[in-house]
Structure 1
Amino acid sequence: MESITEHLKHQNLALSPVNVKKICCSGPTCAVIALKCPHIQVTIVDLNQARVDAWNDADFHLPIYEPGLEDVVRHARGRNLFFSTDVDKGIQDADLIFVSVNTPTKKSGVGAGFAADLNYVELATRRIAAVASTSKIIVEKSTVPCRTAESMRTILEANSKPACRFDILSNPEFLAEGTAINDLFAPDRVLIGSLQTPEGLSACESLSQVYANWVPKDCILNVGLWSSELSKLAANAMLAQRISSINALSAICEATGANIDEVSYAIGCDSRIGPKFLKASVGFGGSCFQKDILNLVYLSESLHLPEVAAYWRQVVEMNEYQKRRFSKTVVDTLFNTITGKRIAVLGFAFKADTGDTRESAAITLIRDFLSERAFVNIYDPKVEHAQIWQDLQDASPQQSLQQLQKQVTICSSAMSACKNAEAVVIATEWKEFKNINWELIYAGMEKPAFVFDGRLLLDAEILRKIGFKVVVIGRGERL
């Protein structure tokens, strides 16, 4: 298969790829581009002055926790990586602009609960059109519905200045929070979608040349614009589908006496399936999986494909069922009532090695515990206390902050969270929870003391020898 450059040559086209020297973006992903491409100036823009101040903090107290990110910023900041609130200057100076904005699920109007809210994408697009006075390559980085680039192009062309043209590319991120920097250093693939026109192919080659500074060329995939947009939704949907599938099997394991670890290992040994994303848990969370599947459901329904929509909807419904099932197991095991009992929830982030709480299973569990009038102690090593309170308020809007604070205590350590509790719930797979002094925790708890492992993190037999009653998700053991 010929390269884009060869294709252009064969077509005898005069278009040459733009030699990208300056990039403007709105997310930390581009910090890795700055590190790997010292000849390119990268400016990360944000209207929030406090966040920009944090990016520029002398002691590197960055606004986002991601393993490895601080090292990247330390090496590149001030050399060719800059952080600024001057969005307009960033747009004017750049050859290439990454549009990386939030695309949450709509809460009202047409498609509420399923469709992506593209308000921020449109605002960013209109800002670029209003400010840019020279031609730009616009890179759609956010996860968006299929054919969003068409809307962006319509807005840009309708508002562009004379002799100012825009080429739009789709370059979705395939990153996992907690390993994002390593994923950027050695990606499985870099996907770049473009219109299959001379101009589109030329713009695609410009971005390909940026990534080629550190990514092997056979890992840079050039596809059509719409295929690129749909591939991101499809990838997240299929990863989430694997999690929901193994979680469905975990319910069967508990009912039959099988062990989900053994089942998933046996399944993963099949080379056609593989072992990744077959780890049973209390449920998936994060900013992408649920949002993207619901987006796919909405797309399927809008294309009059109800069976396809129902298929993908079930992945989300299975995830919600897993969370409900786990919280019910806690209540059932604690003698069918947790009213007035103290439950320690260890972990609030949706997964380890991130401070992100979006769609975290812990939020659902705690909401269920509070509805049963339990008292809840929470500890997470990275999530800010203000974020926890905000998430709990959003999950229980009928309760005021003052009411929540009567039932919920946010603790500074796992030890303090477990003191005087009747049960400990592992909601996030932080490694430190494996290494805490469980004998000391047991001594400080009410008896009988229960541990509910929702992440297959702990050694149940060791805990039982200490004296705990242990329930592990996906295992059919009986107390």
Structure 2
Amino acid sequence: MVKICCIGAGYVGGPTMAVIALKCPAIEVVVVDISKPRIDAWNSEQLPIYEPGLDEVVKECRGRNLFFSTDVEKHVAEADIIFVSVNTPTKTRGLGAGKAADLTYWESAARMIADVSKSDKIAQISIYDPQVTEDQIQRDLAMGKFDWDHPMHLQPTSPTAFKQVSVVWDAYEATKNAHGLCILTEWDEFKTLDYQKIYDNMQKPAFVFDGRNVVDPEKLREIGFIVYSIGKPLDAWLKDMPAVA
């Protein structure tokens, strides 16, 4: 069975993985987080967030092919596909304060993924995040970033090394030959993409999971996508607040 692991059990990761588990019953989906209270809430009758219909989806899938755990390293090591859905808030101090994204959580996730990915399994990570720059991702996953105690598995810049992790900063490249597209935040970049071009380059049937309900599902269906929309856009007064995964 294919196993998906999502790092981050917040407003994006939890609902998105629940829908994937519902629509793909042959796939095992595990959502992991270092916050025990948050994971306990996902495993309880009172979910930590509210979305219309989410309770029913989680109750149907939880314990079958949807699981929530604090054992982050175990499930990352076992996963075939890894989603990173962690907070990238705006920096509050230092260079870029008030404008640049604080990548502390992303760097921590990158370090941990690299550290536990010691086997020959493939963990395919496609990341399209306008706040996480190409240079930053390269620095995070390059050998010089961390002091590894085992052979490097996450070197995306080496043309001769087999890449256990693929980091993609172009939306069209990230979706090439993919079965599904997950939209996990409400940045305007997602609204201006050429979805016909994306559809043409994807495998069929092509799925869109819109975790923030920011694209027009009818237009996507006219193109040929199978669309599942959950969540809702941020209220207008929250637009300038830091994004929380």
TM-score category, normalised to shorter length: 0.5 to 0.7
2:47–2:55: 8 Å Cα contact kept in structure 1? yes
Partner of 2:3: 22
Q: Deviation digits for residues 188-239 of structure 1, max 9, x if unmatched?
A: xxx5643xxxxxx8xx53xx23x2xxxxxxxx59xxxxxx9xx9453479xx
| TM-score, structure 2 as length reference | 0.62
Aligned-partner Cα distance in 2 for 1:155–1:145: 19
Q: 1:163 to 1:128 in 2, by over 3 A?
A: closer
Q: Which residue of 1 aligns with 2:141?
A: 153
How many residues are treated as equivalent by the alignment?
Answer: 182
Match of 1:234 among 181, 186, 189: 189
Give the greater-gyration-radius structure (CA). Answer: 1
| Deviations 1:148-192, CA, capped at 9 Å, x for gaps | 4333432599649447333324599xxxxxxxxxxxxxxxxxx56
Query: RMSD of the alignment, in Å?
Result: 3.6
CA distance in 1, matches of 2:46, 2:130: 28
Alignment correspondent of 2:118 = 133
Deviation per CA, 1:76-115: give whole Å up to 9, x if none. 1111000000001111100111111000000000000000
1:41 aligned partner = 28
Normalization by structure 1: what TM-score?
0.34
Q: Which has the higher contact order (CA 8 A, sep 6+)?
A: 2
1:26-425 residue pairs with structure 2 within 5 A? Answer: 26=8, 27-28=13-14, 29-57=16-44, 60-134=45-119, 135-140=122-127, 144-147=131-134, 148-154=136-142, 159=148, 161-162=150-151, 164=153, 165-170=163-168, 193-194=173-174, 205=177, 208-209=178-179, 211=180, 232=187, 234-235=189-190, 284-286=236-238, 289-290=239-240
Which has more helix, going by share of residues? 1
Say if 1:119 and 1:99 are closer, same or farther in 2 by CA, change over 3 A. same
Q: Secondary structure at the match of 1:97?
A: strand
Contact 1:126 1:155 in 2 (8 A): no
5+ unaligned residues in a row in structure 2: which ranges? 154-162, 193-234
Identity between Structure 1 and Structure 2 (%): 41
Once residues 163 and 125 of structure 1 are traced to their aligned partners in structure 2, the CA distance between those partners, rounded to angstroms, is 13
Alpha-carbon distance, 1:123 to partner: 0.6
Query: Given that residues 139 and 145 in structure 2 are in contact (C-alpha distance below 8 angstroms), is that contact kept between their aligned partners in structure 1?
Result: no
Unaligned runs of 5+ residues in structure 1 are: 1-19, 173-190, 195-200, 212-219, 222-227, 238-282, 293-355, 359-479
Q: Please give the secondary structure, in 2, of the residue aligned with 1:168.
A: coil
4+ long deviations beyond 6 Å: none
The answer (yes or no) to whether the contact 2:133–2:169 under 8 Å persists in 1 is no
Q: Within 2, Cα distance between the matches of 1:84 and 1:93?
A: 13
Rate the CA distance shift 1:109–1:192 in 2: closer, same or farther, 3 A: same
